[in-house]
């Protein structure tokens, strides 16, 4: 009891002594304390951010390593068309498979034939082209969706965590490998499109969405838009003199029907959390 009182008295005396010191000394002491406190907080913050980012990346790699190989590298076979349908994983698995199948049927229909029309605007600035917005629509030709519903086949289904896949096809059913895995190395087509005689390629990507299936769907949609713009486009430009600088507004417009589209590969960048989808289209029949 006596020891505690003496200890408290020393603390009080120390506080009074600090208070009676000059204002400049008090400010200096306070500054030193805050400085070292901020360093420790900053050090802990950086360490936590790094650890969290590294942990998140490793978790993504572990997750994608359990995806089927046919998801990353789509099967190819003659005139057979393939598509993957996506859905959230629900309590009842059959509900997930049913929704993923319905999504895959629409993707198969778009693979057969889809009309894409719309435009994308940009503004040239000193820092390069600046995106100003876009407006595109995808339309299915009459009867295509009904035909797919009557003739599609489900080849495989897979549930990984909160996402369910269904692989569908139109045509001959192929034997699939049960292998799973994920290649962390960026494929060459992410930075440079493949060159193969008789085919036109395009890559689509997407920012992460709240639901993973929406992320992949958006990446595939962007790939189809890129393919439409590269296949047939009209460029309108408007130049305007402003403060002795030439500012140019550009609009890329397209209205085209694409046929026999095929998703070739998918890849996910675990570092930046960006999905990529590579699609291709034969030039024959699309002229």
Read off the pLDDT of residues 152-177 as tens digits, 9 standing for 90 and up.
Answer: 999 999 999 899 999 999 988 878 88
pLDDT at 15 over 50: no
For residues 69 and 62, what is the distance between their CA atoms, to the nearest angstrom? 14
Extract the runs of DSSP E, i.e. beta strands, from 161-198.
Answer: 163-170
Residue 218: helix, strand or coil by DSSP? Answer: helix
Tokens of 215: 């992320």
Closest among 174, 173, 163, 144 to 99, alpha carbons compared: 163
Q: Write the pLDDT tens digit of every residue in 222-253.
A: 999 999 998 877 766 666 555 555 567 788 88
Q: What is the pLDDT of residue 6?
A: 44
Report whether pLDDT(46) > 60.
no
Say what the pLDDT of residue 19 is: 47
Specify the higher pLDDT residue, 22 or 89. Answer: 89
pTM of the model: 0.76
Q: Is 217 exposed, middle or buried (0-12, 13-18, 19+ CB in 10 A)?
A: buried
pLDDT-derived band at 30, boundaries 50, 70, 90: low
Q: Does 208 have pLDDT greater than 90?
A: no
Check whether 13 has a pLDDT greater than 90. Answer: no
Q: What pLDDT does residue 55 have?
A: 65
Mean pLDDT over each residue of the chain, to the nearest integer: 81
Question: What is the pLDDT confidence band of residue 109, given thresholds at 50, 70 and 90?
Answer: very high
Residue 21 has pLDDT above 80, yes or no: no
Q: Distances in Å between the alpha carbon of 246 and those of 68, 125, 157, 235, 242?
A: 51, 9, 55, 18, 6
**Does residue 18 contact residue 26 with C-beta atoms inside 8 Å?**
yes
Residue 114 confidence (pLDDT): 94
Q: What pLDDT sits at residue 31?
A: 52
The answer to whether 219 and 206 are in contact (CB under 8 A) is yes
Q: Please choose, from the candidates 217, 268, 178, 276, the residue with its C-alpha nearest in 3D space to the C-alpha of residue 86.
A: 217
Instruction: Look at 14 and 182; give whichever has higher pLDDT.
Output: 182
Q: Are 167 and 177 a contacting pair, CB within 8 Å?
A: no
Return d(Cα 216, Cα 125) in angstroms, integer. 31
Q: What is the mean pLDDT of residues 258-274?
A: 93
Nearest to 75 by CA among 162, 5, 177, 159: 177
């Amino acid at each position: 009891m006596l020891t505690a009182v003496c200890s408290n008295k020393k603390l009080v005396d120390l506080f009074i002594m600090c208070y009676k010191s000059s204002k400049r000394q008090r400010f200096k002491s306070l500054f030193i304390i805050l400085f070292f406190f901020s360093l420790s907080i900053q050090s802990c913050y950086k360490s936590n951010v790094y650890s969290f980012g590294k942990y998140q990346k490793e978790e993504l790699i572990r997750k994608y390593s359990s995806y089927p190989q046919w998801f990353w590298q789509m099967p190819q076979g003659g005139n057979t068309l393939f598509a993957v349908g996506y859905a959230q994983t629900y309590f009842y698995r059959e509900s997930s498979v049913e929704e993923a199948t319905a999504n895959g049927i629409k993707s198969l229909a778009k693979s057969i034939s889809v009309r894409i029309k719309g435009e994308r605007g940009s503004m040239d600035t000193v820092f390069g082209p600046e995106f100003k917005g876009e407006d595109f629509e995808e339309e299915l030709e009459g009867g295509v969706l009904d035909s797919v519903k009557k003739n599609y086949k489900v080849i495989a289904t897979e549930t990984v965590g909160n996402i369910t896949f269904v692989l569908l096809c139109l045509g001959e059913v192929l034997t699939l490998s049960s292998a799973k895995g994920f290649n962390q190395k960026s494929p060459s087509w992410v930075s440079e499109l493949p060159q193969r005689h008789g085919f036109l390629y395009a890559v689509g990507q997407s920012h992460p969405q709240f639901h993973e299936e929406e992320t992949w769907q958006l990446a595939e949609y962007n790939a189809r838009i890129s393919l439409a713009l590269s296949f047939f486009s009209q460029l309108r430009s408007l130049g305007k003199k402003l403060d002795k600088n030439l500012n140019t507004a550009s609009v890329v417009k397209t209205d085209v029907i694409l046929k026999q589209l095929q998703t070739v590969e998918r890849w996910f960048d675990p570092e930046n959390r960006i999905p990529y989808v590579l699609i291709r289209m034969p030039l024959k029949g699309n002229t």
